[in-house]
């Protein structure tokens, strides 16, 4: 019997209600931590005089006090912009992973979601589940599930009171597109996130490139946005693995705006799960996401968006 099988033998379903009450606390959901971290990034990335004054006067946590003052770290606009880009990237991936793990754990209304989330820590389980979720996002049954988990509705075609069909369809599309964006970027930017998280093995700067014929406007040109370059292993056309450099252009403001949208939907999910597993029936406040708003946040940073917001080149021939 596998180790997982042995663990399953020891389950005590009668304890699930207590675990649910312990997990779904009213004011300790992931959205709270994400918003604290967003506030920290934005404060640290600004060079506002009020922040500098606070640092000079002294800030601390517990008995630890920051004694360096405002001049202890580089505070040039370029330094702060690069810091914000890297922190926003790490925070987005943390938020996206939290949203997807909670969503996958809650699908099907399991008796103990905390246990389902923990099961996903087994090697390979979460990536496989994300791939499967992304594959079926266009299915009506999956959209119905998203509407129920995030909006508390039984069916995606059930417009909430006071909503016209067009607004409701926009909000159903919004949550579907947000989940897709999280799943897609967790896969496409895995090397970026891992390089930033493990050892900070990234190169930051403002990489620039353009493609086009001499004397003609470039067909593809980067904008003036901080960049992060990583080394990763990719497969060539013949299937052979090869090291390559991949440069990502990160708009910190849009990335943090996306983190905010994710945190709102996590709060929706958390509030509804708490009502289902802890409190029983009752009214709750839910904030749907508009596809129009999401599209504005996701506006392309590379024009035209032929390669998305990244560029890849072989590191070794």
**pTM given for the model:** 0.84
pLDDT digits (tens, 9 = 90+) for 232-246: 888 877 888 888 888
pLDDT tens digits, 197-217: 888 888 887 766 555 555 565
Query: Quick one: pLDDT at residue 54?
Result: 87
Q: How far from chain centre, in Å, is Cα 212?
A: 34
β-strands 302-303, 310-314 pairing: unpaired
The per-residue pLDDT for 163 is 67
Residue 259 within a domain: yes
Q: What is the pLDDT of residue 13?
A: 86
Assess if residue 260 is contained within a domain: yes
Terminal CA-CA length for the chain: 47
Maximum CA pair distance of the chain?
74
Q: Is residue 166 one of the residues assigned to a domain? A: yes
Q: What angle do helix axes 77-106 and 190-197 make, rounded to 10 degrees?
A: 110
pLDDT of residue 3: 47
* Residue 267, CA distances (Å) to 8, 234, 273, 288 in order: 30, 36, 10, 11
d(CA 131, CA 183): 8
Task: Identify whether 8 is part of a domain.
Answer: no
Q: How many domains does the chain have?
A: 1
Q: What pLDDT, on a 0 to 100 scale, did the predictor assign at position 183?
A: 96
Cα distance between residue 145 and residue 106, in whole Å? 10
Which parts of the chain have pLDDT scores under 70?
Answer: 1-7, 9, 154-163, 207-224, 300-317
Does any domain span residue 278?
yes
CA distances from 211 to 44, 96, 167, 299 (A): 36, 32, 40, 21
Per-residue confidence (pLDDT) for residue 70, from 0 to 100 = 77
- Residue 249: cis peptide before it, omega within 30 degrees of 0: no
pLDDT at position 87 is 92
Note the pLDDT of residue 143: 94
In a domain, 35, yes or no: yes
Full domain range(s) for residue 289:
28-58+66-314
127 found inside a domain: yes
* CA distance linking residue 94 with residue 35, whole number of Å: 12
- 167 within a domain of the structure (yes/no): yes
């Amino acid at each position: 019997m596998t180790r997982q099988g042995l663990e399953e033998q020891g389950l005590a379903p009668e304890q699930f209600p207590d675990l649910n009450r312990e997990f779904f606390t009213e004011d300790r959901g992931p959205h709270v931590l994400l918003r604290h971290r967003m506030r920290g990034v934005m404060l640290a990335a600004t060079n506002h005089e009020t922040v500098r004054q606070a640092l000079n006067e002294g800030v601390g946590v517990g008995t630890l006090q920051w004694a360096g003052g405002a001049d202890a770290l580089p505070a040039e606009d370029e330094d702060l912009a690069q810091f914000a880009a890297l922190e926003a990237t790490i925070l987005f991936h943390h938020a996206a992973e939290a949203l997807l793990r909670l969503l996958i754990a809650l699908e099907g209304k399991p008796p103990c979601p905390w246990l389902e989330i923990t099961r996903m820590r087994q090697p390979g389980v979460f990536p496989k589940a994300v791939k499967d979720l992304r594959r079926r996002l266009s299915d009506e049954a999956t959209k119905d599930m998203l509407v129920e988990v995030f909006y508390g509705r039984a069916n995606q075609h059930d417009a909430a009171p006071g909503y016209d069909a067009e607004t409701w369809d926009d909000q159903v599309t919004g949550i579907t597109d947000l989940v897709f964006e999280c799943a897609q970027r967790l896969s496409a930017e895995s090397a970026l996130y891992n390089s930033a998280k493990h050892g900070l093995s990234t190169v930051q700067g403002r990489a620039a490139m353009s493609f086009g014929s001499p004397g003609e406007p470039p067909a593809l040109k980067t904008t003036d946005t901080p960049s992060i370059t990583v080394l990763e292993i990719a497969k060539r056309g013949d299937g052979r693995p090869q090291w390559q450099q991949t440069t990502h252009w990160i708009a910190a403001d849009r990335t943090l705006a996306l983190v905010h949208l994710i945190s709102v939907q996590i709060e929706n999910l958390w509030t509804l799960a708490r009502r289902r597993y802890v409190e029983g029936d009752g009214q709750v406040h839910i904030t749907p996401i508009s596809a129009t708003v999401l599209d504005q946040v996701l506006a392309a940073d590379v024009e035209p968006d032929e390669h998305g917001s990244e560029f890849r080149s072989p590191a070794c021939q």
